[in-house]
Amino acid sequence: MNNAPIGVYDSGFGGLSVWLELHRMLPCESLVYLGDGKNCPYGGRSREEITRFAFEAVERLVTEGVKMVVVGCNTATTAAVDAVRAHWSEMPIVGLEPAVKPACLTTATRRIAVLATEHSLRSDMFLRTAARYAEDVEVVKVVGRGFVELVEGDRESTPEAMEAVRGVVEPLLDKNIDKIVLGCTHYPFLRPLIERVIAGRDIEIIDSGEAVARRVRWLLDRYDIAAAEDHNPEYRFLSFADEEYRRGLERKASKILLSDNLL
């Protein structure tokens, strides 16, 4: 039993899509969310830079007394999770990878699309996973150009967002894909728009949020560090950007909790 918080980290707002799943599945757990904000977006940055940011973030969460860290960012996971795990070897650290495996195991057309950041798509981790599970599956790799900026600017419900999503998703429609993997935690915030573009097609959208929350639940049991059933959880929000950004995280979290959805 351990009532210390779980730390969740992302480059910005995206990890709130993971935070929501944790909140739903683990209602007794306190959560400390760190949305970097200052260095976002990570997607076009080098592995070295992202690794440095990830170390700073985990260090900060550790000083907040977390019992576990969820790297709620595919980009930071692909760049740095191995190094971070090696450094804090005593603490469970959960990473997030584009859900290539479940998509490959269930595709009927043997063609899937993976939407992720530039960094994630060229990372060794992604290439390894793709080589392992997508041997006889064609993986169409697409960067969600502008998606992160739209979510960071709270502009997911605008015509501009619809246009950006259409520009990225429409070209996929004649590629005979039956799965779209959302390989960036910002992208689930645009899911309703993606659904509008693929409406009427037999295409499933897959994101990793729920699977990660299940993994966290499993690890809490395995390490015997779950919070007590009567624990009254606290939710805190931190950022390396300014106070206004930090409040934005808080507001967004309240909003998605109230609607029990990302939009």
Catalytic status, residue 184: yes
Q: Are 166 and 194 in contact (CB under 8 A)?
A: no
Applying CB under 6 A, does 120 fall inside the site for ligand DGL? Answer: yes
| Residue with smaller CB distance to ligand DGL, 5 or 144 | 144
- Please count the residues of this chain forming the interface with ligand DGL, following the rule CB under 6 A: 17
Catalytic residue of the set 28, 40, 104, 184: 184
Exactly one of 8, 31, 40, 113 binds ligand DGL (CB under 6 A); that residue is 40
Shortest distance (Å) from residue 6 CB to ligand DGL: 18
User: What mask of x and - would describe binding to ligand DGL in positions 162 to 191, judged by CB under 6 A?
Assistant: ----------------------xxx-----
Name the residue nearer to ligand DGL (CB basis): 182 or 225.
Answer: 182
Q: Catalytic pick from 28, 40, 73, 104? A: 73
Helix (H), strand (E), coil (C) string for the chain = CCCCCEEEEECCCCCHHHHHHHHHHCCCCCEEEEECCCCCCCCCCCHHHHHHHHHHHHHHHHHCCCCEEEECCHHHHHHHHHHHHHHCCCCCEECCCCCHHHHHHHCCCCEEEEEECHHHHHCHHHHHHHHHHCCCCEEEEEECCCHHHHHHCCCCCCHHHHHHHHHHHHHHCCCCCCEEEECCCCHHHHHHHHHHHHCCCCCEEEECHHHHHHHHHHHHHHCCCCCCCCCCCCEEEEECCCHHHHHHHHHHHHHHHHHCCCC
Told to check if 43 binds ligand DGL by CB under 6 A, we report: yes
User: How far apart are CB 123 and ligand DGL at their closest, in Å?
Assistant: 10
Among all chains, which residue has been given the structure tokens 């915030």? 189
Residue 28 catalytic?
no
Q: Does 209 bind ligand DGL (CB under 6 A)?
A: no
Q: Considering only residues 74, 107, 123, 129, which one is a binding residue for ligand DGL as defined by CB under 6 A? A: 74
For ligand DGL, the closer of residues 12 and 92 by Cβ is: 12
Q: Which stretch binds ligand DGL (CB under 6 A): 5-13, 26-34, 53-61, 226-234?
A: 5-13
| Contacting residue, 10, 21, 97, 207, with ligand DGL by CB under 6 A | 10
Residues 134-153 that bind ligand DGL (CB under 6 A): 148
Pairing mode of beta strands 93-94, 138-143: unpaired
Enumerate residues 6+ apart whose C-beta is below 8 A from 81: 54, 71, 93, 95, 125
42 near ligand DGL, rule: CB under 6 A: yes
Q: Which residues bind ligand DGL (CB under 6 A)?
A: 10-12, 14, 40-43, 73-75, 117, 120, 148, 184-186
Q: Which residues are the active-site residues?
A: 73, 184
